[in-house]
Amino acid sequence: MNPRAITERVAWVGVVDWDRRLFDSLIPLPDGTSYNAYLVRGSEKVALIDTVDPSFAPTLLDFLGRVPRVDYVVANHAEQDHAGSLGFVLERYPAAKVVCTPKCKALLIDELHIPEDRFLTVENGATLSLGDRTLEFLHLPWVHWPETMVTYLREENLLFSCDLFGSHLAANALYVNDEGTLFDPTGRGRVYEAAKRYYAEIMMPFRGLIQKHLATLGRYDIRMVLPSHGPIHRKPEFIVDAYRDWASDTPKNVAVVPYISMHGSTRQMVERFIDALTERGVKVERFDLAATDLGKLAMALVDGATVVIGTPTVLAGPHPAAAYAAYLANALRPKTRFASVIGSYGWGGRTVDTLAGMLTNLKVEMLPPVLIKGAPRMEDLRALDALADAVAAKHRAAGLMAG
């Protein structure tokens, strides 16, 4: 296999993983992914930026078969899908040094047992000359590990952004088109959706830090964004503007309603509640937790101003699927401002207290819940209408909807 040229001195030497459907035994990959590695040739030195998942190490080595020397291997991030093939590359190029942050060095020694003398650690803002090309290293911790950095190629204004701005999307196209669509005749934006899913599942817990990192990167002239996953952005404003929106402090006029129903009562309540929200001008994202793609739920949480969990009571507490949805929202730390619980029970329990206690990471105002005994009666339906009134009033007062 041959490297794919990006510029005269920069080539893609990564791998497209068409068939992977689960990441970290946790994150769904409906569209596969890619592990992007890049080769930068200076007049004096050659640098490989990141490697690939270790399952594809032979493919990377095949790519590098015509590269007689690699002087530096830049490890922007220690996670296996980036650095897992590092040992194989260092064996191929025994004089090569691993360039990384001090924290990354410690992780790579622990994970891959790389000898300490193979490292060249760099501080924030440090540079490395390849001759007529210069690499600058920017520490961007917690996007999404504490040791993460990005690499900027000064002479060509290229940002090797690691996981930042990435997308789990397998495609043989190297580049995103102008609108963020890729092989998508509907124009809905396949790359946009994949990038938002990626942000929601991986980056959203670090939203505050990402705001600061975007400000840092705003001081640089960036001609292309070359992420570690997904296609390359030749018009960086598309993905940068999307991140500014997603990471902002202002949610949208959206109520996210994840629910599960065992015998129909909670489903009836959800349907009435959604109808009431619709009549009041609140957009709804509804998810049946018995069958939903949790990545879609995470994406909805990026924008949602309100989360209302629908659940029956099981053994005096919420249904396990509802508890998992609350756990997920708490872990992802979206900019949600309001929350509540609706559902039914047979003889009693602590469903509301349990779910509220699982949302401690969210700075939300809890709105009055609607928990009923058995199937909904007329007064229960009116209580759901009142909750919809409260949601709409909160959104209106926050400036999220007109009127």
Tell whether 215 and 290 lie within a shared domain: no
| Torsion, CA 328, CA 334, CA 340, CA 346, rounded to 10 | -10
State how beta strands 38-41 and 338-345 pair: unpaired
Q: Look at residues 151, 208, 194 and name the one whose alpha carbon lies nearest to residue 34.
A: 194
pLDDT tens digits for 267-283? 999 999 999 999 999 99
Write out the two tokens for 277: 């929200």
Report whether pLDDT(97) > 70.
yes
Q: Which domain holds residue 177?
A: 4-247
| Mean pLDDT taken over the chain | 94
Q: What pLDDT does residue 403 have?
A: 57
Tell whether 349 and 320 lie within a shared domain: yes
**Preceding omega of 144 cis (within 30 degrees of 0):** yes
Which string of b and e fits 118-148 if b means at least 16 CB within 10 Å?
bbebbeeebebebeebebbbbbbbebbbebb
d(CA 277, CA 310): 15
For every residue of 357-373, DSSP letters joined together read HT-TTS--EEPPPEEEE
Q: Region 240-259: what's the mean pLDDT? A: 97
pLDDT range class, residue 182, cuts 50, 70, 90: low
In a domain, 403, yes or no: no
Q: Region 320-324: what's the mean pLDDT? A: 97
Report whether pLDDT(94) > 90.
yes
Q: What pLDDT does residue 300 have?
A: 98
Tell whether 241 and 362 lie within a shared domain: no
pLDDT range class, residue 178, cuts 50, 70, 90: low
d(CA 204, CA 201): 7
Tell whether 106 and 238 lie within a shared domain: yes
Tell whether 181 and 219 lie within a shared domain: yes
In a domain, 402, yes or no: no
Tell whether 225 and 273 lie within a shared domain: no
Q: What pLDDT does residue 341 have?
A: 98
In a domain, 401, yes or no: no
Q: What pLDDT does residue 20 have?
A: 87
Tell whether 233 and 293 lie within a shared domain: no
Tell whether 196 and 278 lie within a shared domain: no
Q: Region 294-299: what's the mean pLDDT? A: 95
pLDDT tens digits for 100-135? 999 999 999 999 999 999 999 999 999 999 999 999
Report whether pLDDT(162) > 70.
yes
Q: What pLDDT does residue 187 have?
A: 45
Q: Region 196-216: what's the mean pLDDT? A: 97
Report whether pLDDT(186) > 90.
no
- The domain boundary, picked from 247, 270, 295, lies at 247
Overall domain count for the chain: 2
Residues 51 and 85 sit within 8 Å (Cβ to Cβ): yes
Q: Region 356-384: what's the mean pLDDT? A: 96
- The domain boundary, picked from 213, 247, 281, lies at 247
d(CA 36, CA 170): 11
pLDDT range class, residue 183, cuts 50, 70, 90: low
In a domain, 368, yes or no: yes
Q: What pLDDT does residue 184 have?
A: 57
Tell whether 171 and 289 lie within a shared domain: no
- The domain boundary, picked from 247, 267, 301, lies at 247
Q: Helices marked H in 199-319 — which ranges?
A: 207-217, 237-247, 265-279, 294-303
